[in-house]
Amino acid sequence: MKRMFLFLSSLGASVYFSLGADNQTPPATPQAPTQQPCCCARMSGGGMQMGQMQMGGQGIRMGMDMAAFAPLPADFATDTNPMTPAKIELGRMLFFEKRLSANGRLSCNSCHDLASYGVDHQTTSSGFWNQKGTRNSPTVYNAAGYFAQFWDGRAATVEEQAKGPILNPVEMGLPSGSAAVAALKSIPEYVALFSAAFPGNPDPVTFDNVAAAIGAFERKLVTPSRWDRFLAGDPSAMTRPPYIRAMRWQYSASSM
């Protein structure tokens, strides 16, 4: 009996290990790393289309039509307000001109600080008597490229928008456009600058021309980046690891 027991035990162990060995997954055969195809970028209809892209030795799958994107232009020029160096310079001075406010302390730059991303970092901006507005001041950078101005879109262009804060009783507080013109005409240097910016105009210092000059200046406030260089056809603009990680996140998020 003892021999029979040992025999059956050995037989059972053999069957168990044999079955266990049959159920084991064989080790995977090492696969050679596949080579990501290089960037297939081409300009098509004014846009860029991407298949897969090799950047900095790291492949990025981009399965979307890049024609939806376009690089920022050098400026947001318009036929309705031709940009000239004289007009842009006048607009720059008017953008910083505090005498266009009722208390002589506020300018366009007060709420749209160009040294601080074009904003004042306040929930709502303070007016000339420290009144608080009801809406946040958006950045002025790239604003000329928007299809509408103000949060409610009540102005179509930056030229039209430029008039609003000057006459708003909660903002810069001048009573009328005539008051702005009178303040500027009292300064001989401004009269000369308006004459240079609007040649051939017998009376160039007008409220409409104030807005046109500020608008011309704001149309130059453009902030192109590496992304815009990349869209313009420079594949080397997005080769650094931080930009690669950002693009991976962007395209993974867009596929959700």
pLDDT at 237: 85
Q: What is the pTM of this model?
A: 0.71
pLDDT at 23: 45
Euclidean distance between CA atoms 210 and 184, whole angstroms: 9
Euclidean distance between CA atoms 170 and 186, whole angstroms: 25
The residue length of the chain stands at: 256
Domains and CATH numbers, the chain: 85-218 (1.10.760.10), 226-256 (no CATH)
> Read out DSSP for 167-230?
H-TTTT--S-HHHHHHHHHTSHHHHHHHHHHSTT-SS---HHHHHHHHHHHHTT-----HHHHH
pLDDT at 45: 38
The tens place of each residue's pLDDT in the chain, 256 residues long, gives 444 433 434 444 443 434 444 444 444 544 544 444 333 333 333 434 444 444 443 444 444 567 788 999 999 999 999 999 999 999 999 999 999 999 999 999 999 999 999 999 999 999 988 889 999 999 999 999 999 999 999 999 999 999 999 999 999 999 999 999 999 999 999 999 999 999 999 999 999 999 999 999 999 999 999 889 989 988 888 876 555 555 555 555 555 5
* Residue 171 is a catalytic residue: yes
pLDDT at 6: 39
pLDDT at 246: 57
Euclidean distance between CA atoms 47 and 237, whole angstroms: 17
pLDDT at 187: 98
Contacts of 141 (CB under 8 A, 6+ apart): 114, 117, 118, 221, 222, 223
pLDDT at 200: 93
The residue from 97, 159, 171, 218 that is catalytic is: 171
